[in-house]
């Protein structure tokens, strides 16, 4: 995932959390942001790659980008609606 960096308004580290906790934590953290702001979520749970886009589709919060970093961590960017 070596694309240009996105401007983020908040960050969330969900390392050590297993499904469904990374998505639950994302949902809670987004409540702190205003509409249009971007949250960067980092995880070490491989299921995160499927779970985050599915949750975004369900809730209407756009998943701007998701992928695996060279370090092995999974990173997703969500824009709050």
**Residues forming the active site:** 19
Per residue in 6-59, pLDDT (tens digit) is 999 999 999 999 999 999 999 999 999 999 999 999 999 999 999 999 999 999
Percent of the chain residues past pLDDT 90, beyond the cut? 91
Among 81, 59, 77, 61, which residue's Cα sits nearest to residue 69? Answer: 77
Q: How far is CA 32 from the centre of its chain?
A: 14
Determine whether domain 16-79 maps to CATH 3.30.465.10. Answer: no
**For the chain, domain boundaries:** 16-79
Is the pLDDT assigned to residue 1 strictly greater than 60? Answer: no
């Amino acid at each position: 995932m070596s694309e240009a960096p996105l401007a983020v308004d908040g960050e969330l580290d969900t390392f050590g959390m297993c499904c469904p906790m990374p998505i639950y934590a994302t949902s809670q953290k987004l409540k702190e942001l205003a509409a249009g702001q971007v949250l960067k979520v980092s995880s070490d749970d491989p299921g995160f790659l499927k779970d985050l886009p599915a949750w975004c589709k369900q809730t209407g919060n756009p998943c701007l980008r998701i992928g695996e970093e060279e370090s092995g961590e999974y990173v997703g960017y969500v824009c709050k609606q």
